[in-house]
Structure 1
Amino acid sequence: MDNSVSLKVNQEFPFNLSHTLKEYLFNKFGKKQSFLEESNIEFWDDYSENNKNNNAFDLLKRCYPQLNFPIETGIEKTELYKDATLRGKKDFTNLSACLELTDPSSIKFEVNQCIAGKVPVLIVSNQDDFIKIIQSLLYKNNPVEIPVSMGAALINGINNWERINILKKDWLSKNPLGNWNQEFSTIIPNKSLYKDKLIILSTKPYSNVPAKQLGLTEDIWIKHSISIRKEHEFTHLYTLKRYGLASNNLHDELIADYIGIIKAIGYYDKNWMLNFMGLDEYPKYRRGGRLENYVQENRLTQQDFKQLIKIIKNAIDTIAIFDKKLGKLTSVKDERCRIEALCETGLTVLASQNDASILLDNYYEKFNTPL
């Protein structure tokens, strides 16, 4: 988009925004980059093929030793925790307690092909177990409160000690008298060799919205919820690889939810999106909606939040027009161009137009540009 168009849109934007809100709404999707298949996929493909009948959680504990530790405030500061997670030492004999799950045998693991390539996916059906695994892998086993409306996570860059041990074994077989610690120091900068990207999904109702609120049966809504959640995280993975960004921001969330919804039911249901965000009684905000999850770390005033509600509602309206004019997804290229058009059209632009013309122009420019 050229500067003249951007200036015109900003002049027409119907809000006098505070500095804090301007900062929050700033479009952080910048220069695109090419991306390659993750190097951890070969490891997970082999695991998926060779361990179909085994307990997924047992292997995960070998890959991510923090899953052996209980949820406990400050546990990441102990030497035993540091030895396990930073140095790969697996002696847990002095561990007074361990991470106890309610139903570890029900955890499923699969490698999925998506728009961003292949990715390992962990599906946790028990909600308490989902919370504990998120606390362990994302919050260093601290009992951080997880919002009930949160049902998935994309983990970007976690040490996989099984992969590191494979690297060590292979290197020592070729260099039996060599110094592995010295060799590993040269490997550390190449994080793709030992750090994983991993998606964790729950199977509860999406955004903690009950089926009856959308006029659906429980079975159908759970099926749709799992589909939306999975495609939502695939979209985050795509923007991470394409723009180097997958942030805890409402711009990202609107994009990921849009793709999740249309991949699940074939079109964008604006009513669903409003329910997910807690705007089903707009202009009133329903506490517990997902919108609040993405502004907790930003010091927004009450007036900022009221303005943000209006901005998100307007952006949802624009995306609905955009989707209606484009119709059903037709190809991977179509999906990619929709994601990129939404990424490169900021929230203030999405919220300031009624006909989605700029968003559509961005889409068609991408779609008509040869690869």
Structure 2
Amino acid sequence: MPTENNYRAQVLFDLGATPAEVTELLAYNENIFHSPNLANSNFPLESAPHITDWQRYHQEAEDVGVFTVLSSALVQFQFPIRAGISENENYRAVTRKGQFTDGMAEATGLKLEKPEELQLLIHPTLAGEIPILITGCRADFISLVQALTKRNEPVAISDSMGATAVGGFNNWERIRHYRKQWEVDQEKPVTEADWQAEFQRLIPQKHLYQDFFIILSHGNYSAVVAEDLGLEEAEWLRLSLTIRIEHECCHYFTKRVFGSMRNNMLDELIADYQGIVVANNGIYRADWFLRFVGLEEFPHYREGGRLENYRGNPPLSDGALRILQALVKQAAENLELFNANHIAELTTNENQGQLITVLTSCTLEELAAAKGAVLEEIWQSRTYRSDIANLKLH
């Protein structure tokens, strides 16, 4: 077994894991982030191509409203939330082949309780600008998540979910916009066969038609109430929105820079770190994070905390899950200590981006071990995933 895995296994054994649980957790905590090539990169990065089209939506919305613009642009907005609709032939023709909804009886439109309160932001991040949709109420957040990520099916949405990142979204309006410009650029009239040939060339170029955006709701972050944090309700709602935005933007950063964005506790630790420090003037609060995931009274786990949403596939056994909880607690506390020791240097965009890079170079075992010595050594050396085996692990 490689040196790195021996070290990780020893961390797990020290927490009381059985050999079978060690095997489970080594697989669950495997680091799959790609090593980035950041030699010539400066943060923030240049925005992805889809931002141009979303900026157009944003501008159009100033005159007619966000809901009206998106009802025309995003085909899922043209269908209701209804059980079985994803298997309807017309729905599949529209969402998979880009057909128009003219004359389709099923296309009765997405219903929101407060459509006039739907907001569209173009938000700056370390990985470039990103579109963010903010709903006017919880019911509308659920409707948008169901429409845009669940194929308009009435799938249950967890109460602890207040935001979701939507990646790889096929935007047929962008394809139509591309087609119009392509036709203008041709020297002679084009046929449908000409377009189909061009469309086949377009398909591999996913950046030209696939979008990444975020859907957010107002409300308490991770279903935690203000009183639990000793805050006034209005202040906590304001902070909750900031944490949600920055949490999801961090997922976007890891997806764009490192090629991965998972339902995994390492990803959640990193993303919540970013959300908390932006909301809390650069200071990380491990106690906030542990409450968000249900571990505020460790070793007791509070049912309904977010951690249970990241049990893995296949799900971790009950024993392995208890060890994971211990890893998460120790990693969060080590991260708080690191943040306190380096807070002055973590104020620049460059160092914020470098820290996310360093965190994605670690596993939960490495972050949890030795009072943060591994994290500190990686930070000082800026040694990333491909070279981590060469570190002297303490």
User: Which of residues 115, 127, 140 is equivalent to 2:126?
Assistant: 115
Q: 1:46 Cα shift?
A: 2.7
Which amino acid letter does the alignment assign opposite residue 190 of structure 2? L
Which amino acid letter does the alignment assign opposite residue 366 of structure 2? V
**Is the 1:33–1:241 Cα contact (8 Å) retained in structure 2?**
no
Q: Deviations over 1:133-181 (max 9, x none)?
A: 1011111112221111111111111111221111111122233224212
Q: Does 1:177 align with 2:190?
A: yes
CA distance in 2, matches of 1:248, 1:5: 23
Q: Does 1:32 align with 2:36?
A: yes
Q: Does 1:340 align with 2:364?
A: no
Matched residue, 1:160:
171
Q: 1:197 Cα shift?
A: 0.8
CA distance in 2, matches of 1:292, 1:234: 22
CA distance in 1, matches of 2:65, 2:99: 22
Q: TM-score, normalised by structure 1?
A: 0.93
Unaligned runs of 5+ in 2: 39-44, 384-394
**Is the 1:211–1:218 Cα contact (8 Å) retained in structure 2?**
yes
Q: Secondary structure at the match of 2:382?
A: helix
Matched residue, 1:145:
156
% identical aligned pairs = 34
**Is the 2:133–2:215 Cα contact (8 Å) retained in structure 1?**
yes
Matched residue, 1:11:
10
User: Which of residues 257, 260, 273 is equivalent to 1:258?
Assistant: 273
User: Which of residues 288, 303, 306 is equivalent to 1:287?
Assistant: 303
Q: 1:207 Cα shift?
A: 0.5
User: Which of residues 57, 63, 66 is equivalent to 1:53?
Assistant: 63
CA distance in 2, matches of 1:203, 1:90: 33
Q: How does 1:1-371 map to 2 (within 5 A)?
A: 7-8=6-7, 10-13=9-12, 14=14, 15-16=17-18, 17-33=21-37, 37-96=47-106, 97-175=108-186, 176-178=189-191, 179-265=194-280, 266-295=282-311, 297-328=313-344, 329-354=346-371, 356-366=372-382
CA distance in 2, matches of 1:21, 1:149: 24
Q: Secondary structure at the match of 1:52?
A: helix
**Is the 1:314–1:352 Cα contact (8 Å) retained in structure 2?**
yes
**Is the 2:46–2:127 Cα contact (8 Å) retained in structure 1?**
no
Number of residue equivalences: 365
**Is the 1:70–1:141 Cα contact (8 Å) retained in structure 2?**
yes
Which region of structure 1 is more displaced relative to structure 2, 137-146 or 236-245?
A: 137-146
Q: Secondary structure at the match of 1:203?
A: coil
CA distance in 2, matches of 1:232, 1:243: 16
CA distance in 2, matches of 1:312, 1:207: 16
**Is the 2:218–2:241 Cα contact (8 Å) retained in structure 1?**
yes
In structure 2, relative to structure 1, the CA distance for the partners of 1:287 and 1:296 (3 Å cut) is farther
Which region of structure 1 is more displaced relative to structure 2, 279-288 or 55-64?
A: 55-64
Which region of structure 1 is more displaced relative to structure 2, 33-42 or 272-281?
A: 33-42
CA distance in 2, matches of 1:23, 1:41: 36
**Is the 1:10–1:349 Cα contact (8 Å) retained in structure 2?**
no
In structure 2, relative to structure 1, the CA distance for the partners of 1:302 and 1:9 (3 Å cut) is closer
Q: 1:33 Cα shift?
A: 4.4
Which region of structure 1 is more displaced relative to structure 2, 253-262 or 303-312?
A: 303-312
**Is the 2:58–2:66 Cα contact (8 Å) retained in structure 1?**
no
Q: Secondary structure at the match of 1:198?
A: strand
**Is the 1:121–1:198 Cα contact (8 Å) retained in structure 2?**
yes
Q: 1:68 Cα shift?
A: 1.8
CA distance in 1, matches of 2:26, 2:56: 47
Which region of structure 1 is more displaced relative to structure 2, 314-323 or 297-306?
A: 297-306
In structure 2, relative to structure 1, the CA distance for the partners of 1:188 and 1:5 (3 Å cut) is closer
**Is the 1:274–1:313 Cα contact (8 Å) retained in structure 2?**
yes
Q: Secondary structure at the match of 2:132?
A: strand
Q: 1:36 Cα shift?
A: 5.2
Which region of structure 1 is more displaced relative to structure 2, 294-303 or 338-347?
A: 294-303
CA distance in 1, matches of 2:116, 2:11: 56
Q: 1:365 Cα shift?
A: 2.1
CA distance in 1, matches of 2:97, 2:139: 29
CA distance in 2, matches of 1:69, 1:50: 22
Unaligned runs of 5+ in 1: none
Q: 1:9 Cα shift?
A: 5.2
Q: Secondary structure at the match of 1:121?
A: strand
Which region of structure 1 is more displaced relative to structure 2, 56-65 or 119-128?
A: 56-65
